[in-house]
């Protein structure tokens, strides 16, 4: 699998007007090392993670486990550009739900997906700008070998494609049960997660996206479905448990709210009132006084999924080097002297504004106060 943003980030840099600076113009590195548990860093991190989740169109909302590394580059009168390395956990909320990560539950340990993100995040309080020019994440499922040694009876992952007929059966039968009790009908779009376990018999657990059908309950069997490119409108969680007495099916569905931004809402770059960073760890979405700036067209980042570490490891082999285990790279420039990045589109005034962007700090460059404390401290879900 190609890593990670070679073309997308180059395109971003070109579109935003990146211009090389002579190395001597910058002198000593202006990067300031920040504590990973500093309240200001945690607040900026909350905004950055919110921006990453909002930018994505597929997958599940990512939650902060801990700040791994943090640097700040103050840009004279233009605010600050932060270079953040974040250890993250996947939650049970789909990104299309647009839910704040603080409102979502992280997965149980046996079903965890964890990883690391690197993100550049720009903040300008006087002009009410919060924006991530680039981000990059690598995620892996928790080691099933280690989980099985701790909990042999815990549910294990199943393939989500059509190669497993029991998974498809669990999805279709649970959705059929949901449709029995609603006037409006829904059809299966995509299975997003699946697992199995022996309870009182073989049991299958599925999560899947659904789309709206033009049919109603009374039209069942006589109505053609919408085209396959219909947008997903909700996420359903279903189960199918088989026993000697028959099948037991359960299902719940969570439908997404409208995606349309409202004037002055959380997608607006302008909002009245004083601007200040909240002192709490995580800004609470629309209740905060700062708002996220409109997105610049074009790719800003990516999230890649890799197999669990033990499934990749040959017999009797050593542990992977951390950089190989989670190969997260993010460089808008490799020029030690830095480049300028045009961010004029983030401001309402008709002037040219440019940030100085430096190469992303390397892993060995770290504050003594980093990494910060983890929300989930198990070594199974912390990148090495």
Question: Looking at the structure, do residues 121 and 203 belong to the same domain, yes or no?
Answer: no
| Rounded average pLDDT over 263-286 | 34
Question: Looking at the structure, do residues 97 and 190 belong to the same domain, yes or no?
Answer: no
For residue 291, is it within any domain?
no
Q: What is the pLDDT of residue 364?
A: 75
Cβ burial, residue 149 (10 Å; 0-12/13-18/19+): exposed
Question: How does 66-85 read in b/e, with b if 16+ C-beta sit within 10 Å?
Answer: bbbbbbbbebeebbbbbbbb
Residue whose tokens read 């001597």: 24
Q: Is the pLDDT of residue 287 over 60?
A: no
| Rounded average pLDDT over 121-149 | 93
For residue 317, is it within any domain?
yes
Question: Looking at the structure, do residues 64 and 114 belong to the same domain, yes or no?
Answer: yes
- Provide the CATH number for the domain around residue 179: 3.10.450.10
Quick one: pLDDT band at residue 199, thresholds 50, 70, 90?
confident
Quick one: pLDDT band at residue 213, thresholds 50, 70, 90?
confident
Question: Looking at the structure, do residues 159 and 200 belong to the same domain, yes or no?
Answer: yes
Question: Looking at the structure, do residues 128 and 162 belong to the same domain, yes or no?
Answer: no
Question: Looking at the structure, do residues 212 and 178 belong to the same domain, yes or no?
Answer: yes
Least confident range from 205-214, 226-235, 335-344: namely 226-235
Question: Looking at the structure, do residues 183 and 127 belong to the same domain, yes or no?
Answer: no
Question: Looking at the structure, do residues 161 and 119 belong to the same domain, yes or no?
Answer: no
Q: What is the pLDDT of residue 286?
A: 35
Q: State the chain's mean pLDDT as an integer.
A: 80
For residue 183, is it within any domain?
yes
> How many domains does the chain fold into?
2
Q: What is the DSSP letter of 274?
A: -
pLDDT in tens, 299-330: 489 999 999 988 776 655 556 565 678 888 89
Q: What is the pLDDT of residue 16?
A: 43
pLDDT in tens, 48-70: 999 999 999 999 999 999 999 99
Q: Is the pLDDT of residue 20 over 80?
A: no
Quick one: pLDDT band at residue 280, thresholds 50, 70, 90?
very low
For residue 226, is it within any domain?
no
d(CA 52, CA 306): 19
Q: Is the pLDDT of residue 278 over 60?
A: no
Quick one: pLDDT band at residue 214, thresholds 50, 70, 90?
confident
For residue 246, is it within any domain?
yes
| Rounded average pLDDT over 236-251 | 93
Of residues 217 and 124, more confidently modeled: 124
For residue 300, is it within any domain?
no
Q: Is the pLDDT of residue 107 over 50?
A: yes
Of residues 170 and 198, more confidently modeled: 170
Residues in the chain, overall count: 384
pLDDT in tens, 357-384: 999 998 777 878 899 999 999 999 999 7
Residue 355 has which token pair? 């940030």
For residue 56, is it within any domain?
yes
User: How many Cβ atoms are within 10 Å of 359's Cβ, its own excluded?
Assistant: 18
Question: Looking at the structure, do residues 59 and 135 belong to the same domain, yes or no?
Answer: yes
What is the chain's percent helix, strand, coil content, to nearest 5?
Answer: 20, 35, 45
| Rounded average pLDDT over 123-146 | 93
| Contact indicator for 344, 351 with CB cutoff of 8 Å | yes
Question: Looking at the structure, do residues 77 and 122 belong to the same domain, yes or no?
Answer: yes
The pTM assigned to this predicted structure is 0.81
Q: Is the pLDDT of residue 290 over 60?
A: no
Question: Looking at the structure, do residues 187 and 121 belong to the same domain, yes or no?
Answer: no
Q: What is the pLDDT of residue 220?
A: 55
d(CA 234, CA 96): 8
Q: Is the pLDDT of residue 266 over 70?
A: no
For residue 242, is it within any domain?
yes
Quick one: pLDDT band at residue 259, thresholds 50, 70, 90?
very low
Q: Which domain holds residue 168?
A: 153-217+232-256
Q: What is the DSSP letter of 106?
A: B
Question: Looking at the structure, do residues 334 and 377 belong to the same domain, yes or no?
Answer: yes
């Amino acid at each position: 699998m190609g890593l990670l943003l070679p073309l997308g980030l180059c395109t971003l840099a070109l579109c935003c007007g990146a211009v090389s600076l002579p190395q001597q113009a910058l002198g000593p590195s202006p990067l300031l090392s920040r504590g990973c548990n500093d309240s200001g860093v945690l607040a900026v991190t909350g905004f950055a993670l919110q921006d990453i989740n909002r930018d994505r169109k597929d997958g599940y909302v990512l939650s902060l486990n801990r700040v791994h590394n943090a640097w700040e580059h103050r840009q004279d009168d233009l605010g600050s550009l932060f270079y953040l390395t974040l250890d993250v956990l996947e939650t049970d909320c789909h990104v299309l739900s647009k839910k704040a990560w603080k409102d979502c539950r992280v997965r149980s340990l046996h079903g965890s997906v964890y990883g690391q993100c690197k993100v550049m995040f720009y903040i300008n309080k006087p002009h009410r700008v919060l924006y991530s020019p680039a981000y990059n994440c690598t995620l892996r499922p928790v080691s099933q070998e280690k989980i099985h040694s701790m909990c042999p009876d815990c549910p294990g992952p199943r393939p989500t494609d059509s190669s497993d007929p029991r998974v498809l059966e669990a999805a279709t039968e649970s959705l059929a049960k949901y449709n029995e009790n609603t006037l409006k009908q829904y059809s299966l779009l995509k299975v997003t997660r699946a697992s199995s376990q022996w309870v009182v018999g073989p049991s299958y657990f599925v999560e899947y996206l659904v789309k709206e059908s033009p049919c109603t309950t009374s039209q069942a069997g006589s109505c053609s479905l919408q085209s396959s490119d219909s947008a997903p409108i909700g996420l359903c969680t279903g189960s199918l448990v088989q026993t000697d007495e028959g099948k037991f099916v359960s299902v719940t569905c969570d439908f997404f709210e409208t995606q349309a931004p409202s004037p002055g809402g959380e997608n607006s770059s302008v909002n009245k009132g004083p601007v200040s960073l909240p002192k709490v760890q995580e800004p609470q979405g629309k209740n905060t006084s700062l708002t996220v700036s409109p997105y610049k067209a074009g790719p800003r980042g990516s999230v890649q999924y890799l197999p669990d570490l033990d499934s990749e490891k040959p017999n009797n082999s050593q542990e992977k080097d951390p950089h190989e285990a989670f190969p997260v790279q993010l460089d808008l420039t490799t020029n030690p002297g830095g480049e300028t990045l045009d961010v004029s589109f983030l401001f309402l005034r008709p002037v040219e504004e440019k940030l100085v962007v430096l190469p992303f700090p390397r892993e060995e460059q770290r504050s003594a106060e980093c990494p910060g404390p983890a929300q989930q401290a198990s070594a199974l879900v912390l990148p090495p």
